[in-house]
Structure 1
Amino acid sequence: MRLFQPIEQDSRLRVVGHSMMEPFSVWLKAAFLSGLVFASPFIFYFIWEFVAAGLYKHEQSYIYTYMPISIGLFIGGALLAFFFAFEPLLDFMFWYYERTETQPDLNLSEWVSFVLMMPLGFGVSFQLPLLMLLLERIGVFTVESYWS
């Protein structure tokens, strides 16, 4: 498996733009998402300051316990997507193009959206264990019901 091979060296990949504004809008989308990622600690801090004022100490302790786990799971999922799942997924998708004997002609904005949203989707899906734990703790499910 070619783990760190640059995507530009993949001869199957040909990304094209279909409008005059597409390259500029892709840069804007990437800049907006980067700004959101870099600003997210501050955003979460201000949201926390607002919410924490209305919580009891024992309720705040749940946040202090589970927030680092949640952040770690999200980052782990995003890194898994970017470094380990991205290339096999592309190989799988290009295999379908080869099987149907068609040539991929990828739209630039769709390609960038795919590259940016895949780690986001993996990160969010890695939150499932915490969601399952929450549902078990509040009594919606039992551990035994997860096994059945």
Structure 2
Amino acid sequence: MSGEELLSHLAELTRRLRRALLAVALAFIFSFAFGVRMVKVGGDPLLPVPYPSIDHSISTMLVSRFVESLLPSQVKLISIGVFDPLYASIEVSLLLSAAVALPVVMWELWGFVAPGLYPHERKAVKAAIIPSIALFAAGALFAYAVIVPTMLKFFLLFDESLGVEPTLSIKSFIGTVVSFMAAMGIGFQLPLVMAGLTKVGAVSAEAWRRNWRWGVLASFVFALIVSPGATGGIIETTIGLSLSALYVVGIAVAKAVEPRRRQNL
């Protein structure tokens, strides 16, 4: 590759990164600084209309939703620092902006790498985009519906056994929710990564099956890294078993895509 071609590729990468970052920034601003109200226009049904508002923004509404649906009624939510509620809203806005802008980011990434791929590789990558988004959403929902409620109930029981009034700062609460949703969204990409490596010929499906013990070990190591480490092994075991099950799913998907690769070759 000549120097001129390299500069051309770098310029293209810069343009696409700018567009991707702009999408993330716009999504962040909208979720952090705008609310949505339902308005009836004439005889039309109610329509969602955005309006500028930080204290009733989309992110603050989602913070309230997290509190109502996840926080046990016995736990008192407090603000330790002056800016803790603001930090909580920012964290939720970051999660929302990443989720909303993800299709744009993936489209720009695809536009950059696609010209350098073979036809069968382009087909494989395009086929993985929607499953990747779906798996991330599934992982985030799993954290929201299972991991976080289980963890909070455990800490509540522990506090009550010690005779301690259960309190939790809003910054810590929202940070925990967002972190677990993001971590599990990433962790749920495991079957797709395994299938992708098999599709390109890097790792065979038989190799995944033969080394399943290492896969299970890696799943529990990941669980130990992302979990708080103070739940008596409940959260760690739940995450580890979930990722181990996904590893088994990954083996099955890898077996399914391997014959297709041979046919393409």
Structure-1-length-normalised TM-score: 0.79
Alignment of 1:95-114 (within 5 A): 95-114=157-176
The CA RMSD measured in Å over matched residues stands at 2.5
1:19 to 81, 90, 96: 81
CA distance in 1, matches of 2:181, 2:193: 19
Deviation for aligned residue 1:63: 0.7
Deviation for aligned residue 1:147: 6.0
CA distance in 2, matches of 1:20, 1:38: 29
Secondary structure, counterpart of 1:53 in structure 2 = helix
Partner of 1:89: 151
1:143 to 188, 209, 232: 209
Partner of 1:123: 185
Alignment of 1:4-83 (within 5 A): 6-7=68-69, 10-83=72-145
1:108–1:133 Cα change, 3 Å: same
User: Deviations 1:30-78 (Å, cap 9, x if unpaired)?
Assistant: 2233223222211221111111122121111221232322222221122
| Greater strand fraction, Structure 1 or Structure 2 | 2
Contact 2:72 2:152 in 1 (8 A): no
Letter in 1 for 2:180: M
Letter in 1 for 2:203: G
CA distance in 2, matches of 1:9, 1:143: 40
CA distance in 2, matches of 1:63, 1:9: 39
Deviation for aligned residue 1:112: 0.8
1:68–1:31 Cα change, 3 Å: closer
Q: Which of 1 and 2 has greater Rg?
A: 2
Secondary structure, counterpart of 2:186 in structure 1 = helix
1:69–1:9 Cα change, 3 Å: closer
Letter in 2 for 1:139: V
User: Deviations 1:91-136 (Å, cap 9, x if unpaired)?
Assistant: 1221222233322321211111111122222222212223333455
CA distance in 1, matches of 2:125, 2:197: 16
Structure 2: tracts of 5 or more residues without a match: 1-67, 215-265
Structure 1: tracts of 5 or more residues without a match: 1-5
CA distance in 1, matches of 2:162, 2:94: 37
CA distance in 2, matches of 1:80, 1:32: 19
Deviation for aligned residue 1:9: 7.5
CA distance in 1, matches of 2:81, 2:194: 44
Deviation for aligned residue 1:8: 7.7
Partner of 2:237: none
Structure-2-length-normalised TM-score: 0.47
CA distance in 1, matches of 2:109, 2:150: 38
